[in-house]
Amino acid sequence: MIKVEHVSKHFIHTHALNDVSLNIEKGEIVSLIGPSGSGKSTLLRCIHGLEKPESGKVYLEGEEMDPSNEEKFRTQRKKMGFVFQHFNLFPNMTVLENCTLAQKEVISRSQEEAEEIALQYLDRVGLKEKKDEYPNKLSGGQKQRVAIARALCMNPEIMLFDEPTSALDPEMIKEVLEVMTDLAKEGMTMIVVTHEMGFARKVGSRVVFLDHGEIIEDADSESFFANPQSERAKDFLSKVFYQ
């Protein structure tokens, strides 16, 4: 479904990604893990087309994502839902409006249809009754569940998450991980940047471990956690708490 081929990306003083290649099949739940600054967000952003790699290519369903082919690029990006660490909800819109806006503007759904779909996904994340609230009335966990519902309203074929629970108080992490676990069980293809090793181990099917902009290990989650191969992954795992 996603193919990353020899992708490199520099910023002024850093080599954020160095010749990264990766294949992701439909239905896989890939946990992207690694130390801070290892390039996880940059890789996710390159996949989503938010960041342009300076060399290498990204393919979606076998077709190259090329920003110069604007219309096709837009269509490709619509197939990917992105969930951010800080939710990025529009503060001046209600929960329902947050969930209908892109449906109307980007995929030209009618108000009625957009609302129907929004309510269906808000119900799935347990927040239908909050539809008329503004985001500042919600807890962090609720905001993130709205952000997930909003992404799902666009019927993505793949969902990308960048540390979706890192900004949350501990008691709210679980409710968000539960929503993500349900999605995984339904067969959604997911790439998840996370420090939640329990989630990566139990829900994830595969782990990609990055360090200094390179993929150090790429293994099914059971083998990665039971038997990490590299010193860097062993060292990383010894420093993070998980069960």
Ligand X SMILES: Nc1ncnc2c1ncn2[C@@H]1O[C@H](COP(=O)(O)OP(=O)(O)O)[C@@H](O)[C@H]1O
Please select the residue that binds ligand X; options are 28, 30, 33, 40, rule is CB under 6 A: 40
Please select the residue that binds ligand X; options are 41, 189, 194, 221, rule is CB under 6 A: 41
Looking up tokens 């009618």 gives 110
Please select the residue that binds ligand X; options are 4, 7, 16, 183, rule is CB under 6 A: 16
CA pair distance 41, 230, nearest whole angstrom = 22
Binding flag, residue 81, ligand X (CB under 6 A)? no
CA pair distance 70, 214, nearest whole angstrom = 29
Contact 233, 214 (CB under 8 A): no
Please select the residue that binds Mg ion; options are 38, 41, 94, 142, rule is CB under 5 A: 41
Binding flag, residue 125, ligand X (CB under 6 A)? no
Q: In 3D, which of 143, 145, 103 has the Cα closest to residue 126?
A: 145
CA pair distance 100, 116, nearest whole angstrom = 9
* CB-nearer residue toward ligand X: 37 or 126: 37
Least distance (Å) from ligand X to the CB of residue 39? 4
**3-state DSSP assignment of residue 45:** helix
* CB-nearer residue toward Mg ion: 115 or 163: 163
Tell me the CA distances in angstroms from 146 to 10, 99, 123, 138, one per residue in order: 33, 8, 10, 10
* CB-nearer residue toward Mg ion: 86 or 124: 86
CA pair distance 181, 187, nearest whole angstrom = 10
The amino acid present at 146, given as its one-letter code, is V
* CB-nearer residue toward Mg ion: 100 or 144: 144
Least distance (Å) from ligand X to the CB of residue 21? 17
CA pair distance 211, 184, nearest whole angstrom = 26
Binding flag, residue 14, ligand X (CB under 6 A)? yes
Binding flag, residue 233, ligand X (CB under 6 A)? no
Binding flag, residue 189, Mg ion (CB under 5 A)? no
Contact 34, 236 (CB under 8 A): yes
Stretch that binds Mg ion, among 40-48, 55-63, 122-130, 138-146 (CB under 5 A): 40-48
CA pair distance 69, 153, nearest whole angstrom = 25
Least distance (Å) from ligand X to the CB of residue 194? 11
* CB-nearer residue toward Mg ion: 43 or 122: 43
Instruction: Give me the residue whose beta carbon is nearest to Mg ion.
Output: 41
Q: What is the contact surface with Mg ion in residues (CB under 5 A)? A: 41
Q: What is the contact surface with ligand X in residues (CB under 6 A)? A: 11, 14, 16, 34, 36-42
